Amino acid sequence: MRIIVASLLLLAVSVTASSDQEEIAAALEKLGEAPSKFVLYSLEPIKFHSQSVRAAKLFHHFDILGHTEITDRSEQRALLRALAGGVREKKDHIVAMCFNPRHALHIEQSGRSIDLVICFECLQVQAYGFPQEGFLTSASPQATFDTSLRQHHLPLASR
């Protein structure tokens, strides 16, 4: 009997996590519908600055190596679809605790700002202005993000 109850609880947790992942993925894809501004950042993960440091060259406490406004709707959607796909792919909840983000997005839509700071090492995304404060992804979106950074001649942080 205990095994059945434990199995049901595990199944309930899996279904809830899967449902949450789908909601997050759908919300990410919806961001690509009509953003008024869409900025891709390349970040230096090593230099984390405290909140007391306020500088134009920081994005959520990390040094900005470069950034570009993405105006091509198909490129915007490709980045968001890749990240949404990574959320859907991430089946386990195992992560490293490094949080060394090398990528970020700033999206303005319907009068609100959303910032996503992404670490493909530990597979965590810190979200600001988004329904979830943070969520997990797989490493698969990194290739799409790196390709976009290279296309815009932005530097990538060393690994």
In tens, the pLDDT along 66-110 reads 999 999 999 999 999 999 999 999 987 777 788 999 999 999 998
Give how many domains the chain has, as a whole number.
Answer: 1
Is residue 26 situated within a structural domain?
yes
Query: Position 22: which residue type?
Result: E
CA neighbor of 63 nearest in space, from 41, 40, 42, 44: 44
Please indicate whether residue 50 or residue 152 has the higher confidence score (pLDDT): 152
Is residue 8 situated within a structural domain?
no
Is residue 9 situated within a structural domain?
no
| Start-to-end C-alpha separation, the chain | 49
Residues 125-151 have pLDDT tens digits of: 999 999 899 999 999 999 999 999 999
pLDDT averaged over the chain? 85
Is residue 3 situated within a structural domain?
no
42 in the Ramachandran plot: left (φ > 0), alpha (ψ -120 to 50) or beta? beta
Query: What was the pLDDT predicted at 31?
Result: 92
Q: Which residues of 45-63 are buried (b: 16+ CB within 10 A; e: fewer)?
A: beeeeeeeeeeeebbbbbb
> Domain containing 133: what range?
18-151
